[in-house]
């Protein structure tokens, strides 16, 4: 297969760096363009980027010249890791110019004609692309978005339970890593020896997005799944990996073995199609009483699986459990790449 050429918007940021690393040896894709803000435009990527990964910067990308985040870009599709406000203008501009856009940004996630996709959970929602093109008058371009990083980890654990038993209500409390705020992110003086019980707009995203993700395609929109959702979000002093304490009630009775089995055996289309970035199992269940932990479990399955532990009965809801997801890999760069692989496999790009 001829490699698809990818342009990265926001290439110099934390998610952009992860994309540069993960796409360096990808069997289906190659990076042919990098773009960022005026601060970086015209510089070599290696010079403009405050590289923060433990791996060396890929030499091919290091020598590219950073361009502006506006079309045209020398690529077949665009992965955007721009801040929300900028993405709201740049992403539709690329789609209107004929580029498929896969976005990490929150700007367009909840627009009714924009698919919000976790490939294992709701791959069927890519069909919304046809409605989007028709409604917006775009011929080849479109925008498809990744969910919020905490929502991806959570919904990978909710989906198998929703499919088997139906969700009635979910309450989640997150402990989110500092890398979730990008670079340079949270000031060290604010986060050292501290927990910050507020992340702007995060609780709203975590309460809205799961319903759309677990919803069903209904013509030109997604009909949201019918369950109650409550979220509280905290920033904690962890480098990578969002930990989430989850309590939930189900519509039908399940035993602890049923819950455990539903989670640990669940696979979906990306596993059937053997997409290059798909983990063998999207949910990994740990039985030790003190797992998952960010430092120990965030890189399991290359950072592409949700790790679930501490499954047990709850005295107010039905069940409680602890969920961990790698926010920069499965929560952002890896999510976009898996969505790109899904779109290629379904012949949407
Ligand atoms: P970041 O480290 O702050 O990087 C932001 C990127 O956007 C940089 O490349 C920056 O370029 C570029 N940029 C900023 N202002 C711009 C402008 N006016 N015009 C063009 N480019 C501009 O942020 P990040 O963590 O990579 O996050 C990127 C996006 O992904 C955000 O929407 C975020 O919410 C989302 N996301 C992040 C995570 C995570 O774990 N970090 C997870 C899921 C989703 P310069 O270097 O030139 O300034």
What is the per-residue pLDDT across 271-315, written as a single tens digit (0 to 9) for each? 999 999 999 999 999 999 999 999 999 999 999 999 999 999 999
DSSP 8-class letter at 333: I
d(CA 66, CA 38) in angstroms, rounded, equals 9
185 lines ligand 1 (CB under 6 A): no
Peptide bond into 292 cis (omega under 30): yes
Q: Is the pTM of this model over 0.85?
A: yes
Instruction: Kindly state the percentage of the chain with pLDDT values over 90.
Output: 99
Task: Please tell me the predicted confidence (pLDDT) of residue 1.
Answer: 80
User: Which mutation among 13, 46, 71, 242 tests ligand 1's pocket best, with the greatest number of atoms within 8 A of CB?
Assistant: 13
118-153 pLDDT, tens digit each: 999 999 999 999 999 999 999 999 999 999 999 999
Task: Please tell me the predicted confidence (pLDDT) of residue 188.
Answer: 96
Task: Please tell me the predicted confidence (pLDDT) of residue 126.
Answer: 98
Delineate the domains of the chain, giving CATH numbers in brackets: 4-148+333-345 (3.40.50.720), 149-326 (3.30.360.10)
51 lines ligand 1 (CB under 6 A): no
Atom of ligand 1 nearest to the CA of 327: 40
149 lines ligand 1 (CB under 6 A): yes
User: Which mutation among 7, 9, 10 tests ligand 1's pocket best, with the greatest number of atoms within 8 A of CB?
Assistant: 10
221 C-alpha to ligand 1 centroid (Å): 28
Is 69 a residue of the active site? no
189 contact partners, CB below 8 Å, separation of at least 6:
none
Average pLDDT (259-276) is 98
67 lines ligand 1 (CB under 6 A): no
Average pLDDT (241-247) is 98
Of 69, 75, 149, 233, catalytic: 149
Average pLDDT (203-208) is 98
230 C-alpha to ligand 1 centroid (Å): 27
Average pLDDT (306-330) is 98
Is 26 a residue of the active site? no
Task: Please tell me the predicted confidence (pLDDT) of residue 229.
Answer: 98
């Amino acid at each position: 297969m001829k490699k698809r050429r990818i342009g990265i918007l926001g290439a110099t940021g934390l998610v952009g760096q992860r994309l540069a690393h993960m796409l360096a040896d990808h069997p289906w894709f190659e990076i042919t363009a990098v773009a960022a803000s005026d601060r970086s435009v015209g510089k070599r990527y290696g010079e403009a980027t405050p590289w923060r990964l433990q791996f060396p910067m890929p030499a091919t990308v290091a020598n590219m010249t950073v361009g502006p985040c506006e079309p045209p870009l020398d690529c077949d599709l665009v992965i955007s890791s721009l801040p929300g406000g900028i993405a709201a203008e740049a992403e539709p501009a690329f789609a209107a110019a004929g580029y498929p856009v896969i976005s990490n940004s929150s700007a367009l996630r909840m627009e009714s004609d924009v698919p919000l996709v976790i490939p294992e959970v709701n791959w069927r929602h890519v069909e919304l692309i046809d409605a989007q093109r028709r409604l917006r008058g775009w011929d080849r371009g479109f925008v498809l978005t990744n969910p919020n990083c905490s929502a991806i980890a959570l919904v990978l654990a909710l989906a198998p339970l929703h499919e088997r038993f139906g969700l009635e209500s979910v309450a989640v409390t997150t402990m989110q890593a500092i890398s979730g705020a990008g670079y340079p992110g949270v000031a060290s003086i604010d986060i050292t020896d501290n927990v910050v019980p507020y992340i702007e707009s995060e609780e709203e995203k975590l309460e809205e997005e799961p319903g759309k993700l677990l919803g069903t395609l209904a013509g030109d929109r997604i009909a949201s799944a019918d369950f109650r959702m409550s979220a509280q979000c905290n920033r904690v002093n962890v480098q990578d990996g969002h930990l989430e304490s989850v309590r939930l009630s189900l519509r039908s009775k399940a035993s602890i073995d049923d819950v455990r089995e539903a989670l640990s055996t669940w696979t979906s289309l990306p596993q059937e199609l053997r997409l290059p970035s798909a983990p063998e199992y999207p949910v990994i269940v740990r039985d030790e009483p003190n797992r998952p932990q960010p430092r120990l479990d965030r890189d399991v399955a290359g950072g592409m699986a949700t790790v679930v532990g501490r499954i047990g009965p709850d005295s107010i809801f039905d069940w409680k459990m602890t969920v961990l997801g790698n926010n920069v890999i499965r929560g952002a760069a890896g999510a976009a790449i898996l969505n790109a692989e899904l779109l290629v496999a379904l012949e949407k790009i």
